[in-house]
Amino acid sequence: MPEAPPDEAPALHVEEIDVTYGRALSALRSVSLTVPHGGVVALLGANGAGKTTLLRAVSGTLRLHRGAVTAGRIRYGDTVLDGRDPVAAVRAGVVQVPEGRRVFAGLSVDENLRAGGLGLTRRAPAQTRRARDRVLTLFPRLAERPHQAAGLLSGGEQQMLAIGRALMASPRLLLLDEPSLGLAPLMVDRIAQVVREINAQGTAVLLVEQNAGMALSLADHAHVLEVGEVRLSGPAAELARTDAVRRLYLGETTDGQGAA
Amino acid sequence: MTTLVDNLFNGLALGAVYALIALGFVTIFKASGVLSFTHGSLLLLGGYLTAILHDDLGFAGALALAVLATAAVAGLLDRYVLQRIGTDPHAAHVATIATIGVDIVLVTDLSRRIGGDLLGLGDPWGDAVTDMGPATVADSRIAAIIVSAVAIAGAFALFRFTPWGLSLRAAAEDSEAAALMGVRLTRVRMLAWCLAGALAALAAVFLAAFPAPGLERTTGQIALKAFPAAILGGMASPVGALVGSLLIGLTEAFVAGYQSDLHVLGEGFGDVAPYAVMVLVLLVRPAGLFAARGAARV
């Protein structure tokens, strides 16, 4: 792909943020992480650990859930993202694929893809076409059925459409929220392969997953969230070897510790 | 035969005008989840502006200005009153109630200005009629059908082909996902109100034109009849609003046309007919004729 990486290499810096919902419910406490340019970072944790909340804080959709970043800072390169609206994130090159796919079910595949480019109103048509070609090369299935209602696609196809839709905004950092959720193992492998390809094309990825095996195989770095705090972090390969991660997220019972 | 064609024409003209109003309801509902009870006063505002401006600007100029002004009032109302209340589904209910209050304020002021007068809008059709073979049709009705058709086709083209239209449809399906794409929800819904205001102002012209005697302070109440049209169409479907409006218009025209044969139902059944049709349709299809069919696979 000729999509040349930009000269400067912006990284996402999440610096000690606190997030509170409804001014009372604390969801994240002093969470920090960095996604370097072109890197893949995995964020693991159980339901309710705050993974989605972190993505919302970055993409600017906390407000839709009556949440707010009450301390700390989120920067993407020179752009401050905390407290901004989703348009700011999209324009800065940070786009989120929501959990559960959330394709526009009544709209056609083609319209869903066009919707993905809505945030970049001043973009030249040629750039939109390039983004589109990239998506259709990545997902030939979508090119086969541009007029089909998105709601009638299979789960895996919907996940591809959701990712393709986000790629239409030509992000430099893609936020993926549980892309493997509810998919068959074969499709999970396919999604993992797609994430690898997208990353190889120069897009950084912040991957939120409960499927730790998949996430750790893709990521350079990983963080484990537990009840709103980062409990563990380190290189993905190292984390995959730690007992805690193996026990809690990879479903293994290590001898001797299994009964504890 | 004559009455049949007459009624058909009357019904189509009436339905076309209702469609202008109902399409506004539906656009607003899709964009914001708010039921606009302000439509009667927006319509009255558009008509009133055309009436007071046409001496100076001519009919076309007055109408253009009235349409723009009404669109602006509707947009500002949404942006600075209704969106202040909130943009989540719960706030939509509160905002709906607020539109009733806004309507009362606007109608009260406009009624004070209009008083007991009948205002002419200076439209070019006057009481001219055209002989169409079996029937004689008022020019104003032909104009109503043509102008409404053009305006509605324009609105549908906006929904289908513009970024705003795509934003509106995407946001109506899933506002958070649309926001994640960088759609500015506040702007999308403000423009939806603008479009609805413009259509209401346009509708006012034909509700005040011949054979109606002119614009009265009660003209706005006719907007309420577009409610059953929008509801029986499925409330969130522009096509449904169009079909519903024609159904209501034709029903009203035919009931009025054959009133002498429908004496059992009492006088003035034509006024009740739209609601009767709505209830009948909802009995058979509780979600309306064109309710979102939920093209979803789980």
B295 has a chain A CB within 8 A of its CB: yes
Residue B14: pLDDT band (50, 70, 90) is very high
Q: Which residues of A touch B182 (CB under 8 A)?
A: 86-87, 89-91, 118-120, 169
Q: Which residues of A touch B297 (CB under 8 A)?
A: 151-155
- Answer whether residue B272 is part of any domain: no
Q: Which of B175, B181, B184 to mutate to test the interface with A (most CBs of A within 10 A)?
A: B181
- Is A169–B181 a contact, with Cβ atoms under 8 angstroms apart? yes
- Is A64–B175 a contact, with Cβ atoms under 8 angstroms apart? yes
Chain B nearest C-alpha distance from A6 (Å):
21
**B109: domain range?**
15-221
Do residues B23 and B152 lie in contact, with contact meaning Cβ atoms separated by under 8 Å? yes
Q: Which residues of B touch A64 (CB under 8 A)?
A: 88, 175-176, 179
Q: Which residues of A touch B296 (CB under 8 A)?
A: 105, 151
- Answer whether residue B228 is part of any domain: no
- Answer whether residue B264 is part of any domain: no
| Residue B131: DSSP 8-state | E
Chain B nearest C-alpha distance from A16 (Å):
24
- Answer whether residue B177 is part of any domain: yes
Read off the pLDDT of residues B139-176 as tens digits, 9 standing for 90 and up: 999 999 999 999 999 999 999 999 999 999 999 999 99
pLDDT exceeds cutoff 50 at B224: yes
B88 has a chain A CB within 8 A of its CB: yes
pLDDT at B296: 43
pLDDT at A116: 96
- Is A105–B173 a contact, with Cβ atoms under 8 angstroms apart? yes
Number of domains in chain B: 1
Residue B86: pLDDT band (50, 70, 90) is confident
- Is A151–B163 a contact, with Cβ atoms under 8 angstroms apart? no
Dump the DSSP string for chain A. Answer: ---PPPSS---EEEEEEEEEETTTEEEEEEEEEEE-TT-EEEEEE-TTSSHHHHHHHHHT-GGGGTEEEEEEEEEETTEE-TT--HHHHHHHTEEEEPTT----TTSBHHHHHHHHTTT-TT--HHHHHHHHHHHHHH-HHHHH-TTSBGGGS-HHHHHHHHHHHHHTT--SEEEEE-TTTT--HHHHHHHHHHHHHHHHTT-EEEEEES-HHHHHHH-SEEEEEETTEEEEEEEHHHHHHSHHHHHHTS----TTTTT-
The mean pLDDT of B101-110, rounded to a whole number, is 95
Give me the residue label for tokens 């979102």: B292
Chain A nearest C-alpha distance from B47 (Å):
36
- Is A169–B292 a contact, with Cβ atoms under 8 angstroms apart? no
A-B Cβ pairs (cutoff 8 Å, strict): 89
Round the average pLDDT of chain B to a whole number and report it. 90
pLDDT at A259: 39
Predicted TM-score (pTM) of the model is 0.89
Q: Which residues of B touch A92 (CB under 8 A)?
A: none
pLDDT exceeds cutoff 60 at B293: no
- Answer whether residue B108 is part of any domain: yes
| Residue B237: DSSP 8-state | -
pLDDT at B69: 98
- Is B184–A169 a contact, with Cβ atoms under 8 angstroms apart? no
Cβ neighbours of B267 (radius 10 Å): 9
pLDDT at B294: 47
Q: Which range among A237-251, B6-20, B121-135, B262-276 has the greatest average pLDDT?
A: B6-20
Residue B93: pLDDT band (50, 70, 90) is very high
pLDDT at B7: 87
For A204, phi and psi rounded to 5 degrees?
-75, 155
Q: Which of A118, A135, A148, A153 to mutate to test the interface with B (most CBs of B within 10 A)?
A: A118
Report CA torsion sign: B190, B195, B198, B204.
negative
Closest CA to A220 of A66, A36, A56: A36
- Is A90–B182 a contact, with Cβ atoms under 8 angstroms apart? yes
- Is A107–B88 a contact, with Cβ atoms under 8 angstroms apart? no
Nearest chain A residue to B173, by CA: A104
Point out the residue among A105, A117, A169 whose CB comes nearest to the CB of B295: A105
B173 has a chain A CB within 8 A of its CB: yes
Q: Which residues of B touch A166 (CB under 8 A)?
A: 180-181
B79 has a chain A CB within 8 A of its CB: no
Chain B nearest C-alpha distance from A217 (Å):
27
d(CA B32, CA B66): 24
- Answer whether residue B122 is part of any domain: yes
What is the ipTM, given to two decimal places?
Answer: 0.89
Dump the DSSP string for A90-142. Answer: HHHTEEEEPTT----TTSBHHHHHHHHTTT-TT--HHHHHHHHHHHHHH-HHH
Read off the pLDDT of residues B268-290 as tens digits, 9 standing for 90 and up: 777 788 888 889 988 988 888 88
Nearest chain A residue to B188, by CA: A118
DSSP-derived 3-state class of residue B139: helix
Point out the residue among B170, B179, B183 whose CB comes nearest to the CB of A64: B179
B1 has a chain A CB within 8 A of its CB: no
Do residues B22 and B148 lie in contact, with contact meaning Cβ atoms separated by under 8 Å? no
d(CA B222, CA B46): 14
- Answer whether residue B157 is part of any domain: yes
pLDDT at B108: 94
Chain A nearest C-alpha distance from B178 (Å):
8
What residues in chain A have per-residue pLDDT under 70?
1-9, 250-260
- Answer whether residue B180 is part of any domain: yes
Q: Let me know if domain A12-248 sits in CATH 3.30.1330.60.
A: no
Q: Which of B166, B167, B180 to mutate to test the interface with A (most CBs of A within 10 A)?
A: B180
Closest CA to A199 of A39, A77, A43: A39
Residues 6+ apart with CB under 8 A from B270: B252, B255, B256, B259
Q: Which residues of A touch B166 (CB under 8 A)?
A: 107, 111, 114-115, 118
Nearest chain B residue to A99, by CA: B177
- Is B170–A151 a contact, with Cβ atoms under 8 angstroms apart? no
